[in-house]
């Protein structure tokens, strides 16, 4: 029986694309916007979600504002995401 591949699933972030500048920039922008006195390197631990990171810095009532600012920065700065050098060859 001949099988046909109909779907391919790729892990983009850290495999095909480098989004480190976008991620760090999103945190730097949001942390500065709300005058937290923190830098991205101070709050990123590699395991917490965005909600968890900002939840430690603000109230539940203010958290949506942090998340909205973070998302807006990402939407406006997708140019910071770049493909890794061998991304096409990998595909």
**pLDDT 10s digits, 20-77:** 999 999 999 999 999 999 999 999 988 899 999 999 999 999 999 999 999 999 999 9
- Our CA angle for 17, 18, 24, nearest 5°, is 140
The pLDDT of residue 86 is 85
In a 3-state reduction of DSSP, which class is residue 34?
Answer: coil
The pLDDT of residue 70 is 98
What pTM value is reported for the model? 0.83
Q: Is the dihedral of CA 20, 25, 27, 28 positive or negative?
A: positive
**pLDDT 10s digits, 5-20:** 898 888 888 888 999 9
Phi-psi region of 46 (alpha: psi -120 to 50; beta: other; left: phi over 0): left
The pLDDT of residue 46 is 84
């Amino acid at each position: 029986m001949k099988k046909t591949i109909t779907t391919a699933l790729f892990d983009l972030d850290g495999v095909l694309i480098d989004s480190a500048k976008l991620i760090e920039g999103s945190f730097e922008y949001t942390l500065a916007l709300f005058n937290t006195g923190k830098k991205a390197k101070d709050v990123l631990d590699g395991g917490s979600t965005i909600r968890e990171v900002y939840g430690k810095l603000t109230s539940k009532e203010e958290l949506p504002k942090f998340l909205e600012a973070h998302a807006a920065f990402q939407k406006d700065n997708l140019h910071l995401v770049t493909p890794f050098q061998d991304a096409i060859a990998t595909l």
